[in-house]
Amino acid sequence: MTLDELVETFEFFDDWEDKYRFIIDLGKDLPALPDADKTDAHLIRGCQSQVWLTYKITEGKLAFNMDSDAHIVRGLIAVVLVAIQDRSAAEIQQLDIEGIFGQLDLLAHLSVTRGNGLRAMVSRIKEVARSQPA
């Protein structure tokens, strides 16, 4: 799914409950992270639920793998991955992910702790991107 398709799908739903179910369904399609990668070294601090992040670089593009122990968070991860997956470090650093969340009206419908966790995920992703050689 592309970012444009995600935004278009969100606009299709009139009710936030439908969007919520859609987010959860996105999370169901997210590949599970192997248990060997669910370590403290890969844990993102600041999330209400446990969230792990690994990544690799292929041909100058970052590919992230993320997982969580909560269904809604897995869905939020899927939304984030649509926005950032397979981009260069520079593209990720310049990407206005908060703007994307605003366009989806996402943060307005999440609890403060879920919103903070989402921001912690984005912060960690941007930190990974900043750590890559130019």
Q: What residues act catalytically? A: 47
What letter would DSSP give residue 31? P
Taking alpha carbons only, the member of 43, 51, 76 closest to residue 84 is 76
For 93-100, which contacts have Cβ atoms below 8 Å and span 24 or more sequence positions? 93/126, 93/129, 93/130, 97/122, 98/122, 100/3, 100/7
- CA–CA separation, 30 and 19 (whole Å): 17
d(CA 99, CA 97): 5
Terminus-to-terminus CA distance in the chain, angstroms? 28
- Tell me the C-alpha distance between 80 and 18, whole Å: 19
